[in-house]
Amino acid sequence: MSDHHLTDDEYVKVFSAEDCATIQLALQECYRSFKDHHDEWHRTQSSKIKQLLEGQFGHDVK
């Protein structure tokens, strides 16, 4: 279950630890699938996912 909060400049959603683990796994799988594509959309998405994994989940992405 998640909780919703609204701040001045962003929408914040709080997830359980189990939900966060599921989200992290999904992001890792998407990153792996997108990172080797050479078109602009996939490169942009993989960059955003990498930033999320490293910044929000503390996961070192290679």
Range of the domain at 24: 3-55
Query: Total structural domains in the chain?
Result: 1
Q: Give a yes or no: residue 22 inside a domain.
A: yes
Q: Give a yes or no: residue 42 inside a domain.
A: yes
Q: Give a yes or no: residue 30 inside a domain.
A: yes
Q: Give a yes or no: residue 13 inside a domain.
A: yes
Read off the pLDDT band of 6 (50, 70, 90): low
Question: SS3 for 58?
Answer: coil
Q: For residues 6 and 26, what is the distance between their CA atoms, to the nearest angstrom? A: 25
Q: For residues 53 and 25, what is the distance between their CA atoms, to the nearest angstrom? A: 10
Q: Give a yes or no: residue 60 inside a domain.
A: no
Residue range 15-61, pLDDT digits in tens: 999 999 999 999 999 999 999 999 999 999 999 999 999 998 888 88
